[in-house]
Structure 1
Amino acid sequence: MTITVHFVTAPVGGSFEQYDVAAKPGMSLMQAAVNANLEGIAADCGGAMTCATCHVHVDEPWRARVPPAKAGELDMLQFTAEPADDGSRLSCQIVLTQELDGLTVRLPARQY
């Protein structure tokens, strides 16, 4: 069984691109992006939550369905290259479930 996650790029020349990625429940959102060779998720620490290079912005309609960030993640969000907002998360900390089928996240313009 797989779910689909939608990654939307930062605007380049005024236009966005959307990448639809198939993922297995139980894997992290970061791992789904890495497996798909998606540009925009650097994932330098491999999911150890020590680099903040897997920063994403969860679209508003999905924020209530994604489990809340824990203290360590909130601390790391202070070190993102692009400003964090209410929808900011580290994709390594979002474990995909069937309930997140169709999740849409936006990639920041840069991770460094």
Structure 2
Amino acid sequence: MAKITYIANDGTKFEVEAENGTTVMENAIKNAVPGIEAECGGACACATCHVYVDDAWTDKVGSAEAMEEDMLDFAYEVKPTSRLSCQVKVSDDLDGLIVHVPERQA
């Protein structure tokens, strides 16, 4: 289990206990975190689960694979820390992860 903190664009924090092997997106949807739409259901076929990984976590989370990078082209205000939350798998190494939800999705 890992604790993930989602920070909405208005600064509201949502703390979630996430099971290993799930994705950051699945946990956002399961816990009704606003701003994560996930229209494709986690198939890496849209950009509506876009998040910004907190700077302190970018190395642990890692970088996007080629397919994810292609989909990020459709995301709103992409930054160097942008990831699609459907592609970030929860593990014990991510306990305490902080992600920021953008102002809007694609």
**TM-score, length-normalised on structure 1?**
0.92
Unpaired runs of at least 5, structure 2: none
How many angstroms apart in 2 are the aligned matches of 1:23 and 1:44?
21
**Identical columns (%):** 41
2:34 counterpart (34, 39, 55) = 39
What's 2:68 paired with?
73
What's 2:17 paired with?
22
- Deviation, 1:98, is 0.2
What's 1:8 paired with?
7
Aligned to 2:61, what secondary structure does the other structure show? Answer: coil
How many angstroms apart in 1 are the aligned matches of 2:32 and 2:57?
23
The alignment's C-alpha RMSD in Å is 0.8
**TM-score, length-normalised on structure 2?**
0.97
Answering whether residue 92 of structure 2 is matched by residue 98 of structure 1, we say: yes
Answering whether residue 98 of structure 2 is matched by residue 111 of structure 1, we say: no
How many angstroms apart in 2 are the aligned matches of 1:45 and 1:36?
18
Matched to 2:66, the amino acid is A
How many angstroms apart in 2 are the aligned matches of 1:34 and 1:70?
23
Higher Cα radius of gyration = 1
What's 2:78 paired with?
84
- Deviation, 1:67, is 2.6
Q: How many residues align?
A: 106
- Deviation, 1:39, is 1.0
Aligned to 1:34, what secondary structure does the other structure show? Answer: helix
